[in-house]
């Protein structure tokens, strides 16, 4: 999937989480950082590809990506598995624990949002014809559909489908979102 589809997919899964869970009271800064963490998580599994959009957002990122890529294996291996999800979650938690000494936001919310983004990436890549090796190191790629990244299937089915899901959620759960926004105003 393209990065814009991963961005929308991470936002969609975050929306599903918002309506299905009772959220802790948080500051507007925490909420903003949580959304950014979700978007970062939505792109993060592609760190195994030096040309990915994750590396484009960092100065010298493609060089760093080329240096890291040999340790992660080929694209859609370790970083697109449950093992990768757990290890990235643990490493991000350690980073947030350190940053929590300096930044006064709810790092638990930030971590959960990041993990939602990573999970959405794996789910969306499971729709592609390459699939995802959920059970790495077992080299079986699971796929639900046979969509090629950037193809008409992604542009005419997946992306519009995610927009429709978000619109439906926002319309249906409008009072939930209003209540969430009301908490920031008070």
Q: What pLDDT score was predicted for residue 13? A: 97
Helix (H) or strand (E) holding 9: helix 3-20
Q: Which residues contact 55 (CB under 8 A, 6 or more apart)?
A: 47, 61, 62, 64, 65
pLDDT in tens, 8-47: 999 999 999 988 888 778 888 898 999 999 999 999 898 8
Torsion sign across C-alpha atoms 132, 53, 8, 40: positive
pLDDT in tens, 139-175: 888 888 888 888 898 999 999 999 999 999 999 999 8
* Cβ atoms of 124 and 5 closer than 8 Å: yes
Backbone angles phi, psi at 100, to 5 degrees: -60, -20
Q: What pLDDT score was predicted for residue 151? A: 87
Residue keyed to tokens 């959620």: 169
Helix, strand, or coil here: 147? strand
CA 83 to chain centre: 16
Q: What is the mean pLDDT of the segment spanning 114-128?
A: 95
Q: What pLDDT score was predicted for residue 126? A: 93
Helix, strand, or coil here: 128? strand
pLDDT in tens, 64-78: 777 777 676 666 778
């Amino acid at each position: 999937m393209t990065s814009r589809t991963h961005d929308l997919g991470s936002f969609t899964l975050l929306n599903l989480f918002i309506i299905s869970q009772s959220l802790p009271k948080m500051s507007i800064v925490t909420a903003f950082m949580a959304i950014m963490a979700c978007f970062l998580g939505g792109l993060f599994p592609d760190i195994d590809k030096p040309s990915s959009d994750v590396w484009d957002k960092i100065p010298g990122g493609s060089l760093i990506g080329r240096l890291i890529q040999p340790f992660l294996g080929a694209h859609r291996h370790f970083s697109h598995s449950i093992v990768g999800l757990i290890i990235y979650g643990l490493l991000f938690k350690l980073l947030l624990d350190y940053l929590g000494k300096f930044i006064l936001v709810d790092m638990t919310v930030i971590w959960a949002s990041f993990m939602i983004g990573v999970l959405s990436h794996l789910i969306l890549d499971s729709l592609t014809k390459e699939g995802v090796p959920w059970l790495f190191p077992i080299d079986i790629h699971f796929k639900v559909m046979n969509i090629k990244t950037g193809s008409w299937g992604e542009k005419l089915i997946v992306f519009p489908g995610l927009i429709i899901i978000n619109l439906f959620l926002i319309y249906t759960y409008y009072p939930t979102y209003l209540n969430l926004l009301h908490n920031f105003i008070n």
